Amino acid sequence: MLTLLQHIVQDVVAAPTFQDALRVIVSEVREALGTEVCSVYLMTADRQNYLFAANEGLNPDVVGRATISVDEGLVGLVGRRAEPINLEDASQHPRYHHMPEIGEEPFNAFLGVPIIHHRQVLGVLVVQQRDKRRFDESEEAFLITLSVQLATIVAHADAVGGIRALTDANFAAGDLKFQGLAGAPGIAIGTAVVMHPVASLDAVPDKQVDNVVVELIVFDRAIGSVRDDIRRVSEQFAESLPREELALFDVYLHMLDDDALTGDVRARIRRGEWAQGALKNVIREHLRRFEQMEDPYLRERATDVEDLGLRVLAYLQDMSAHKTHFPKDTILVGEEITPSMLTNIPADALKGLVSVGGSVNSHVAILAHALDIPAVMGAIDLPIYQTDGQSLIVDGFYGEVYTNPSEALTAEYETLRSEEHDFAEELNELRDLPCITQDGWRVLLWVNIGLTGDISRSLDRGAEGIGLFRTEVPFITQDRFPTEEEQRRLYREHMEAFEPRPVTMRTLDIGGDKALPYFPITEENPFLGWRGIRVTLDHPEIFLVQVRAMLKANEGLEGVLRIMLPMISSMTEVEEATRLIEQAYQEVLEEGFNVKDPLIGVMVEVPSAVYQSRELARRVDFLAVGSNDLTQYMLAVDRNNPRVAELYQDGHPAVLRALREVARNTHAERKGLGICGELAGTPIGAVLCMAMGYQVLSMNATNLPKVKWVLRNVKRTDARRMLARVLKMETAEEIQRYMEDQLVEAGLGRVVPSYHGRVDV
Ligand code: PEP
Ligand code: MG
């Protein structure tokens, strides 16, 4: 059963078009279950009807044309109930609706299962048979299992307009929205350039070319080069390798000479495909054929075909590497964009970035931030290889990508972009003004920083201090642990630039999704594993060196050094870390440095720290809430997983109540209180935190001017009134709506996206 399922799914995935995929489904399911009829009905865009999308056994002429209402017949009932219906004699069912227009005869046995993706019914898969018989349990289970797997494929096709295209051959999907994660803020409109890692067949985009002759020449040259390589290697190893191994080279040469492989590629190129795409598709077809063979020896040959394909591809890519053209509005798109890919592009041509893999903490997202390039990470559903050369809109504020945008949508985003730009210019005037509410309440706006490039951006935007120096960033960019002196110099550079402002240095926070290339941590459950302070307490040599570097960097400066501990989940960790800091301090003094005693703080990032915030506050100088992690741990939602991105709500009532709890406890101990998660950099989050009495809001430099503008235009008394209301609310959505209304009423609608014209497609 499992093999059969796998075969069907493999064939469906391999089908060149969605229409072919549907044909494969109905034909293979019909065969597998031995039924007379198999059909797929798909929900139309207006959600009023099901399209008779594919069928075997009924009238083929109406496939792709006939529709039935969602309230009609047994198909409608399966969809509405969102569960399978298995009937021995369908004609006796009160909902039975005979449809002669699709060639339906009075079939009796009926089994329909819904195709559901993310709670939404996308269609219904049906098998029917003339005999009165009940499909047995295993048949029902088979169809359900298949439908669950097909749902992703159907959802994906739907997202790229595949279902619309079934009824309208001229339909060009436009304004399609793909959700990812907000990697770096801003809006970019431009042309997609798909980057692919060298020699990965899967990563080769499909492209049509005009100049077939050039592609044929390029392909033949690549084949020639591979052939030469193989001959050379074969000669080189002639003495040392056993005869059987050497025979493999002959097999390769034979495959290259054999028209089956190269002939197919040439045929595809003649039909207009570029050489790399043609090669990819032919290799895939061959792989599929080999993999389906029962003979293990022949199945093994699949590896050879793939290997050979990769060798040819490497040459093809080498030949075209220098030709990649970067238009002046390049939006870089890739399966996994790496920092090195950015280096190939002229700096002023790069306008945006979209990565299917990676998270907001990925190195490349951090780099995009530093370069002020809007970025979307984790756009898992984006069919990147079809986007090459297409227009794209990247909304780095909301983590959204639109492909093939219409003129109207582009115009709206252009307006939004220029509004953002004008607003930012206006906000420049606030740069040197303090952040004081209308009724005189002072809030400190500091920045989160990681790369040296952030310094000038932060100061330009009026940062009054560093609230979070993510020290892991310079660690990630190296190929070994940086030395004490290297760290000291880097930290000093920041402290001098910010002098006399305070600088909060977080001790190394690795683990989770932040790995050092030279210190790999492999775990089943990394976010609940060896992370943050847990790693550095286990490696005091790393911790001590870092703290010593921080202390020395601060020598002779007025700016206060604040050392902050990440991922604290128990008092013992604080005890141990403070002891080590004290040790480092004494050592540095003994070495003759004239350093000041630093302030020590704890990040509140896990629920246990919320409930012990009173004791923690008693023990250290300040607390700073890391709302990014606190949200993920309180709500049990992975902050980097786009599949559950909707559940990741830092404005969730539980999170806000936790923030208030921390505020009360810290105030009771009269200690410093700040917040440095993304929430602090949002207008709504900032207003609520200010109302709770957070003295320091630390955020990305980009968000700082906007937050200052909002806070300077509200009264704390009003904010406290809003907070009181909010703390009684039950959902994040309700809170969001209420706060947006409040901001609009206060004349601050410019920072409310839905208000100032953001379009929801
Ligand atoms: C946080 O968790 O909120 C935080 C500021 O730290 P990071 O995002 O670096 O984990
Ligand atoms: Mg954190």
Q: Tell me the per-residue pLDDT of 443-462, one tens digit each, with 9 for 90 and over.
A: 999 999 987 778 888 999 99
Task: Decide whether any atom of ligand 1 lies within 6 Å of the 627 Cβ.
Answer: yes
Query: 350-355 and 176-179 as β-strands: parallel, antiparallel, unpaired?
Result: unpaired
- Determine the average pLDDT of the residues in 321-330: 78
pTM to 2 decimal places: 0.78
pLDDT tens, residue by residue, 269-297: 999 999 999 999 888 888 887 777 766 66
The label of the residue with tokens 């299917």 reads: 356
Q: Kindly tell me if the per-residue pLDDT of 659 is higher than 50.
A: yes
Report which of residues 239 and 573 the model is more confident about.
573
The helix (H) or strand (E) run that includes residue 179 is strand 176-179
Classify residue 439 by its DSSP letter: T
Which of 471, 506, 564, 676 is the best mutation target for the ligand 1 pocket, counting ligand atoms within 8 Å of the beta carbon and taking the most? Answer: 676
pLDDT of residue 393: 96
Structural domains in the chain plus CATH codes? 2-167 (3.30.450.40), 176-186+328-423 (3.50.30.10), 201-316 (1.10.274.10), 440-677+688-699 (3.20.20.60)
Report which of residues 62 and 568 the model is more confident about.
568
Q: Kindly tell me if the per-residue pLDDT of 319 is higher than 70.
A: no
The label of the residue with tokens 């703390």 reads: 727
pLDDT of residue 236: 61
Task: Decide whether any atom of ligand 1 lies within 6 Å of the 659 Cβ.
Answer: no
Q: Which residues are catalytic?
A: 363, 676
567 Cα: distance to centroid of ligand 1 (angstroms) = 9
- Beta carbons within 10 angstroms of residue 572's beta carbon: 10
Tell me the residue ranges of DSSP E strands in 388-513: 391-395, 400-403, 444-449, 466-470, 503-506
Nearest CA to ligand 1 atom 1: 626
pLDDT class for 149, splitting at 50, 70, 90? confident
Which of 376, 39, 362 has the alpha carbon at shortest distance from 177?
376
- Give residues with Cβ within 8 angstroms of 440, minimum separation 6: none
Q: Kindly tell me if the per-residue pLDDT of 671 is higher than 60.
A: yes
pLDDT of residue 759: 40
Q: Kindly tell me if the per-residue pLDDT of 152 is higher than 60.
A: yes
Q: Which atom of ligand 1 is nearest to the CA of 677?
A: 3
pLDDT class for 757, splitting at 50, 70, 90? very low
| Mean of all residue pLDDT scores within the chain | 88
pLDDT of residue 682: 93
The rounded percent of the chain whose pLDDT value lies above 70 is 92
52-61, 120-129, 293-302, 614-623, range with the lowest pLDDT: 293-302
Question: Angle 732-745/683-692 helices, nearest 10 degrees?
Answer: 90
Task: Decide whether any atom of ligand 1 lies within 6 Å of the 677 Cβ.
Answer: yes
pLDDT of residue 760: 41
pLDDT of residue 761: 37
Report which of residues 711 and 364 the model is more confident about.
711
The rounded percent of the chain whose pLDDT value lies above 90 is 57
For 602, phi then psi, to 5°, come to: -120, 135
Q: Which bound ligand lies closest to the C-alpha atom of 627?
A: 1
512 Cα: distance to centroid of ligand 2 (angstroms) = 10
pLDDT class for 705, splitting at 50, 70, 90? very high
Tell me, what amino acid is at 613? S
pLDDT tens, residue by residue, 177-200: 888 888 888 999 999 998 876 567
Question: Angle 275-292/259-270 helices, nearest 10 degrees?
Answer: 140
Provide the token pair at 97.
């609706």
Q: Which bound ligand lies closest to the C-alpha atom of 361?
A: 1
Which of 362, 466, 468 is the best mutation target for the ligand 1 pocket, counting ligand atoms within 8 Å of the beta carbon and taking the most? Answer: 468
Q: Kindly tell me if the per-residue pLDDT of 521 is higher than 90.
A: no
- Determine the average pLDDT of the residues in 42-49: 91
Q: What is the dihedral of CA 673, 399, 431, 465, to 10 degrees?
A: 30
How far, CA to CA in Å, does 466 sit from each of 358, 575, 628? 26, 25, 18
Q: How far apart (Å, rounded) are the C-alpha atoms in residues 209 and 221?
A: 18
pLDDT class for 639, splitting at 50, 70, 90? confident
Terminal CA-to-CA distance of the chain, rounded, Å?
41
pLDDT tens, residue by residue, 227-238: 887 787 677 657
Q: How far apart (Å, rounded) are the C-alpha atoms in residues 25 and 31?
A: 10
